[in-house]
Amino acid sequence: MSEMMDRFREEVYTVPQMFFNSARNFPERPALKFYEDDEWQVMTWAEFEQAVRLVGNGLLALGLEKGNCVALMAHTSHRWAWADMAIQAVGGITVCIYPSLTSKETIYIGNNAQPYLFITGDPATAERIYSIKNELKGLKAVICLEKGFEGNGEDLLSMDYVMELGRDYEAKNPDHFDKRYQELTGDDGCTVIYTSGTTGALKGVFYTQRELILGLEQSIRYCEMGGYPLTYEGVSLNVLPLSHVWERVDSYMGQLVSGGCMGFARSPQTLIEDLQVIKPTWLLLVPRLWSRVYTGIERTFCATEEGKKAFEWAIDVGLKSIDYYTDERGGLNLLPLHNLTWPEG
């Protein structure tokens, strides 16, 4: 395997360690690309690390202990990444919850996982969780990720407030944060991922640091076998829920380990426009969203006669290639298709 795989095996045992390796090796390279304050913004790895340190120290200031669970109920965004990495870095366990769940389902998860803190993505969700706070055992505070949110400064807090707490805490305890993440091992808890509840009762799956790392190692191996190794020049477009293990490991963590850039779509509805801005080299989508991409590409290409000809040729070649490269067991090997070129004439 490549130098990436060798270094990965030797140096990476936890997700926070993976994150800080990339921040140290690629401080000035882009880490996050996202839309905020009415414009696209880019955050470097050094800036990403600083945000994680401030949030992490804020969590320490709020009394988070190693092994405590922190619920994270938010749509995919750069602030989700800040929160997740901060939780893990200080030894907490990120409990991923789909924002679409009802209050009844949320209470069930809350009393099952018993989070010390509950982080939400938007004010409406923050207020909803705050209204049922007394029904959630051991919950200290609700935190809202969205910029500009104003809490009460006691048990309904903004992320900005938590980061200010972190700034003060770090000044008084400069080594505590680093000590927390450096003491983590592969056997420590990493995350609990709950099912969406659409196919039955909600179930939580507990992952250790080692288990997520092993899943990522397998993804790295497949990427290399396929001729597309993960590198610091890679760019992902994150639009699927990070509450799902597939997006979490193969897209989000893939950039964490390689030092690449994570781009965040504004929403599934703006996917076609966001693709043109972020220009990803790595994209995971479910069939419904691939259909939206297909429709958008078809509409764009077929706007001209030349484009329509190119589009129809590509579809024809693609369908024939699938038939040709599908074996008797239904397996499909697309590696030989990498050398396809536009025909002469």
What is the CATH number for 83?
A: 3.40.50.12780
Angstrom distance (rounded) from CA 285 to CA 80:
19
Characterize 235-251 residue by residue with b for buried, 16 or more Cβ atoms within 10 angstroms of its Cβ, and e for exposed.
bbbbbbbbbbeebbbbb
Whether residues 89 and 33 share a domain: the answer is yes
Whether residues 221 and 162 share a domain: the answer is yes
Whether residues 307 and 259 share a domain: the answer is no
Whether residues 47 and 97 share a domain: the answer is yes
* 103 within domain boundaries: yes
Q: What is the DSSP letter of 326?
A: B
* 285 within domain boundaries: no
Whether residues 81 and 130 share a domain: the answer is yes
Angstrom distance (rounded) from CA 92 to CA 147:
23
Whether residues 146 and 190 share a domain: the answer is yes
Count the Cβ atoms, other than its own, within 10 Å of residue 74. 26
pLDDT 10s per residue in the chain (345 long)? 455 555 555 577 899 999 999 999 999 999 999 999 999 999 999 999 999 999 999 999 999 999 999 999 999 999 999 999 999 999 999 999 988 888 899 999 999 999 999 999 999 999 999 999 999 999 999 999 999 999 999 999 999 999 999 999 999 999 999 999 999 999 999 999 987 656 667 888 999 999 999 888 888 887 777 677 888 999 999 988 888 888 888 889 999 999 999 999 998 888 889 999 999 988 888 777 778 777 878 888 888 999 999 989 998 988 888 888 887 777 766 666 555 444 444
* 310 within domain boundaries: yes
* 288 within domain boundaries: no
For residue 235, the cross-strand partners are 261
Amino acid at position 47, single letter: E
For the residues of 161-210, what is the DSSP string, one character each?
HHHHHHHHHHHH-TTHHHHHHHT--TTSEEEEEE--STTSS--EEEEEHH
Do 142 and 53 form a contact (C-beta atoms < 8 A)? no
Residue carrying the six token digits 């120290």: 57
* 287 within domain boundaries: no
* 201 within domain boundaries: yes
Examine the fold and report which residue of 253, 271, 289 is the final residue of a domain before the chain moves on.
271
Angstrom distance (rounded) from CA 247 to CA 241:
7
CA angle 159, 164, 168 (to 5 degrees): 145
Whether residues 257 and 306 share a domain: the answer is no
Whether residues 325 and 240 share a domain: the answer is no
Q: Looking at residue 68, what is its pLDDT? A: 97
Q: What is the DSSP letter of 34?
A: E
Which pTM value belongs to this model?
Answer: 0.86
- The tally of domains found in the chain comes to 2
Whether residues 32 and 156 share a domain: the answer is yes
Q: Looking at residue 329, what is its pLDDT? A: 79
Whether residues 54 and 106 share a domain: the answer is yes
Angstrom distance (rounded) from CA 92 to CA 68:
5
Do 246 and 212 form a contact (C-beta atoms < 8 A)? no
Structural domain of residue 315, as residue ranges?
Answer: 302-339
Do 114 and 69 form a contact (C-beta atoms < 8 A)? yes
Q: Looking at residue 345, what is its pLDDT? A: 43
Cα separations in angstroms, 314 against 14, 119, 320, 343: 43, 45, 10, 11
Residues 6+ apart with CB under 8 A from 103: 128, 132
* 76 within domain boundaries: yes
Residues 6+ apart with CB under 8 A from 86: 52, 53, 55, 56, 58, 59
Angstrom distance (rounded) from CA 98 to CA 184:
27
* 328 within domain boundaries: yes
Whether residues 251 and 320 share a domain: the answer is no
Count the Cβ atoms, other than its own, within 10 Å of residue 188. 18
Whether residues 239 and 313 share a domain: the answer is no
